[in-house]
Amino acid sequence: MRGILIVAHALSTVLIGGLLLVTDVAADTGISPQRQTQLMHLLRQDCGSCHGMTLKGGLGSPLLPANLTGKPDELLVDTILNGRPDTAMPPWHTQLSRDEARWLIEQLRKGVADVAR
Q: Tell me how many degrees the CA angle 25-31-36 measures, rounded to the nearest 5.
A: 105
Are 43 and 57 found together in one domain?
A: yes
Domain of residue 38: give its range.
32-117
Please tell me whether residues 90 and 71 are part of one structural domain.
yes
Regarding whether 21 and 73 lie in a shared domain, the answer is no
**Confidence check: pLDDT of 92 > 90:** yes
pTM of this structure: 0.73
Q: Are 56 and 9 in a shared domain?
A: no
Q: pLDDT tens, 45-83?
A: 999 999 999 999 999 999 999 999 999 999 999 999 999
What count of other Cβ atoms lies within 10 Å of the Cβ of residue 29? 14
- Count the domains in the chain: 2
**Higher local confidence (pLDDT), 110 or 113:** 110
Angle formed at CA 46 by CA 65 and CA 28, multiple of 5 degrees: 60
pLDDT over 70 percentage in the chain: 71
Q: What are phi and psi of 97, to 5 degrees?
A: -85, 170
Structural contact between residues 99 and 30, judged by C-beta atoms closer than 8 angstroms: yes
- 112 contacts 45 by C-beta, under 8 angstroms: no
Whether residue 95 sits in one domain with residue 67 = yes
90: CATH: 1.10.760.10
- Mean pLDDT rounded to a whole number for the chain: 82
